[in-house]
Structure 1
């Protein structure tokens, strides 16, 4: 049966830098956006440890990569199938699954820049029977881009307003901003600003064996250490001009422990200073964009960190701070939805990158297409 505009459902699969879970959404974009169903599949600690071992150079990497690529492909498919079942989604209406995969290396500044995400899309296509679009970042890199961030194109389509300048702040493992000027003739810009939750999560896991700092309560109990913050801000990434992107290669527990070796601080004070590192680096980036009293819209897991939000408001008093739930999409589901949208772009032979954001020479259709069973 021929699919109509209203029939077109896209799934998005996302596993981010925090390595906590696979998120899945089922959405439609035409004639208007609707979030139909969501699902989360937590990653167990053993699997997280294996993935982390691949984010930095080590032994026997090719065998580990091959096994994890297959295993994650199976888990992405499991998450998608559970979403379809629980959401009572008609598989025949699903046009494609957009799968980000799990990033294990992102080297935009290497002599030959590269990025690598695992979670075999062939396995996802076979186990779901649905066409999969994956490997979005490498085509942008092939045309001179950073391969990241890719979500600003979706932010532009979803959140731009002609009434007011806006900034979308994604607080995942890494923080990135998208500037959305009200003036339609002004370029959308976007780039990574530095760590968001990645260091705070690593530190509380190291000290307290908690996955994350709920509401930023532990950070709020500590005291900011300006001298420690100053040393953290000496990381060369913060002085790089945009376009720029980063990841675990730059900001990780080993980097933090190297900085901490010079002095001794209470654990809670270190957490407070890590929160301030995120807030300060974000605030400096937003101020450099010289927007007029922009609305700052938060998404990602860090949108629920009340202490971080309070620090951002203190550092950015002219910004109205809210989150994407005010515009019909919970902060939790923005990135997965972005990759559903990117799959729609690819299936429609439309570009998915913004050259002003990634530094690519030209816009390109992104990703590879892996047909489902019987080509559906």
Structure 2
């Protein structure tokens, strides 16, 4: 018997809501039925980014942002229902990642905070909503992230041996696929540093196709300094976010580089792109992967894909996209949260301890009944 689920994703790039409608049957077949992307208004995106960077924000503003995000999540779900001529009763559950504003699984009091007013989503849509997926894994001693490796292991069973899924969002992460106990962790920055640097100097939210970065040259001394950061030497399980990889992090590196005034901003952008490509390749080599399948918004940066492919080829690693495995690059993460919602309502584990480091499999998420 097949059931319908909706998955919602608001990623580290904070560019908008990704929403998908999927059919999942008892045999484990996954079918993507519809999808939509709703960009955030510029002012709303700026507020989300400011909150994620721990800038001063009032409790009132925090509550308002969470409510407004819940409204946008709800509207995306209602659009999916309307254009597919479905009622709320046709949907088993909504899986909502929320939007991460702080992630600190390694602190003395570990936590991860996502906003999105999940009660409002359940109320507005009339559909049971599952959210807060990270907290239970963290309570069990895990990182609470990345959560998508369990879905990757479940969905991409047909991938050849020694394959990896590389998701390039604001943060990049890897899933080293195995039949069981796939390994996964955050590689480092994906689009977050590239986007922030480009926006500071151009006013545009991202560098489309790496056009500006193509005008620059890699600053080797800066690249080396960045790659020597302790995060890249840290063993898995590990996860990170904008609270670590941000422009303050970059400025601290720039202060250590001699004659930086002779370098233009496109050179820095080109170096940040190379950093993303290099840290992904380093993880692939560490996991002894022979095939990479890329997904996420970073796949649309043609220069980034060119650099990942070129670096991989020198080590006899092939590069493709998840589309060749049956799922479009833009909808993998939202699809994962539809699947995670299914796991929760069926009381099945949603985490992968080999990826997060949790003590064992756990049923994830909090349920907000319709």
* TM-score (normalizing by structure 1): 0.93
For structure 1, the residue ranges without an aligned partner over 5 or more in a row are none
Q: Distance in 1 between matches of 2:57 and 2:278?
A: 39
**Aligned 1:143-154 pairs, distance under 5 A:** 143-154=140-151
- Identify the match of residue 192 of structure 1 among 170, 179, 186: 186
Residues 15 and 22, structure 1, Cα contact 8 Å, conserved in 2: yes
- Identify the match of residue 305 of structure 2 among 278, 302, 309: 309
* 1:60 Cα deviation after fit: 4.5
Q: Distance in 2 between matches of 1:368 and 1:207?
A: 41
* 1:311 Cα deviation after fit: 1.1
Residues 54 and 61, structure 1, Cα contact 8 Å, conserved in 2: no
Aligned to 2:212: 218
Mapped pair 1:300 → 2:296: yes
Mapped pair 1:358 → 2:353: no
* 1:108 Cα deviation after fit: 1.4
Residue by residue, what CA displacement relative to the aligned partner does 1:331-367 show, whole Å, maximum 9, x if unpaired?
A: 1111000000000000110000000100000110000
The list of structure 1 runs, each at least 4 consecutive aligned residues, that deviate by more than 3 angstroms after superposition, is 56-61
**Aligned 1:14-25 pairs, distance under 5 A:** 14-25=9-20
Q: Distance in 2 between matches of 1:296 and 1:59?
A: 40
Residue by residue, what CA displacement relative to the aligned partner does 1:90-120 show, whole Å, maximum 9, x if unpaired?
A: 4322000000000000011111111000001
* TM-score (normalizing by structure 2): 0.94
* 1:56 Cα deviation after fit: 3.2
Residue by residue, what CA displacement relative to the aligned partner does 1:18-45 show, whole Å, maximum 9, x if unpaired?
A: 0100010000121532111111111111
User: Counterpart of 2:5 in 1: which secondary structure?
Assistant: strand
Aligned to 1:337: 335
Aligned to 1:48: 45
Q: Distance in 1 between matches of 2:271 and 2:16?
A: 26
Taking only aligned residues, the RMSD between alpha carbons, in angstroms, comes to 1.4
- Bigger shift: residues 218-227 or 145-154: 218-227
Against the structure 1 CA distance between its residues 163 and 304, is the aligned structure 2 distance closer, same or farther, given a 3 Å change threshold? Answer: same
Residues 88 and 125, structure 2, Cα contact 8 Å, conserved in 1: no
Q: Distance in 2 between matches of 1:97 and 1:22?
A: 14
- Bigger shift: residues 20-29 or 257-266: 257-266
Q: Distance in 2 between matches of 1:24 and 1:244?
A: 27
- Bigger shift: residues 78-87 or 278-287: 78-87
**Aligned 1:230-309 pairs, distance under 5 A:** 230-261=224-255, 262=257, 263-264=260-261, 265-291=263-289, 294-309=290-305
Q: Distance in 1 between matches of 2:17 and 2:101?
A: 15
Aligned to 1:167: 164
Mapped pair 1:28 → 2:23: yes
For structure 2, the residue ranges without an aligned partner over 5 or more in a row are none
* 1:327 Cα deviation after fit: 2.1
- Bigger shift: residues 190-199 or 78-87: 78-87
* 1:162 Cα deviation after fit: 6.7
Q: Distance in 1 between matches of 2:305 and 2:53?
A: 31
- Identify the match of residue 6 of structure 2 among 6, 11, 33: 11
**Aligned 1:20-169 pairs, distance under 5 A:** 20-30=15-25, 32-161=29-158, 163-169=160-166
- May I ask how many residue pairs the two structures share in their alignment? 362
Q: Distance in 1 between matches of 2:306 and 2:39?
A: 28
User: Counterpart of 2:8 in 1: which secondary structure?
Assistant: strand
Residues 160 and 166, structure 1, Cα contact 8 Å, conserved in 2: no
* 1:228 Cα deviation after fit: 0.9
